Amino acid sequence: MTLDSLAPDNWDAPKNILVILAHPDDPEFFCGATLARWARAGHSLTYLLLTCGDKGFNDATTPANMTPEKLCGIRHEEQRAAATVIGAQAVYFMDVEDGYLVPDIQLRREIVREIRRHKPDILVTCDPQNLFAMYGLNHPDHRACGQVVLDAVFPAAGSPVFFPELLTEGFEPHMPKEVWCSLTSQPNTVLDVTETWELKLEAIKMHKTQVPDPVKLVERMNSRRAEDSPEDNPRYEEKFRVVRYR
């Protein structure tokens, strides 16, 4: 896939991209078509999920004997399968308890460690200021994840005086060049992702515990075409709040 020379992601060389989000399925729902676009353009993708979604029970499809512990393991596998569809190289989990994410100093240290470990050029997370989403209230884990990631990026990740204990572990300061915040209500960057929209949908379907009716899911997602595109020739977009450090 060749990116438009004027596109905001037309980087001059292959990039190391780290995606830090709260739950399995967040990467695919929030920005899966963008991630697939980047993978096909030759960039390297790594996922870090802060929880395993162990409270993501769906009454319509969850067996009666399901437990949070069992669901955690299943959702690990679902996320790995979805990441393979997208084209990500690796998936990691912190396995913080679902629904209990708090952007405290301890979690910030862990995120700084992972930023320094993976050394991303581009970091993807979600917008902590988005209290409302199209489905109602935004999940508190989404907001907490975005908050702790942004707090880790600046001023801590690139500075040796924050969490100096990480230096003794061998994690040297590192600052991403760009931070892309998905699930935002105040975007400043829009990507045309029509070419990889179907891959996004195929990846979402890998999250079988969360998708009780794949047909209705596809219908709902396909209805979200760009406002200026017709039904018989739809165009799809994903929007971000991007912060660049040069």
pLDDT at 2: 57
pLDDT at 42: 97
Q: Judge whether residue 61 has pLDDT over 80.
A: no
Pair of tokens at residue 67: 């437990």
pLDDT at 6: 78
Looking at every residue in the chain, the average pLDDT score rounds to 95
Instruction: Judge if the upstream peptide bond of residue 187 is cis by omega within 30 degrees of 0.
Output: no
Average pLDDT over every residue of 2-26: 91
Residues 131 and 139: their CA atoms lie apart, in Å, by: 8
CB atoms within 10 A of CB 68: 14
Q: For residue 139, give the DSSP letter.
A: P
Cα 39 to Cα 1, 35, 78, 134, 187, distances in angstroms: 9, 6, 19, 27, 22
Residues 31 and 71: their CA atoms lie apart, in Å, by: 24
pLDDT at 158: 98
Give φ, ψ of 104 to 5 degrees. Answer: -90, 180
Question: What domains sit in the chain, N to C, each tagged with a CATH number?
Answer: 16-244 (3.40.50.10320)
Residues 41 and 12: their CA atoms lie apart, in Å, by: 11
Average pLDDT over every residue of 23-41: 98
> 180 forms bridges with which residues in the sheet?
124, 242
What are the pLDDT digits (tens) for 195-228?
999 999 999 999 999 998 999 999 999 999 999 9
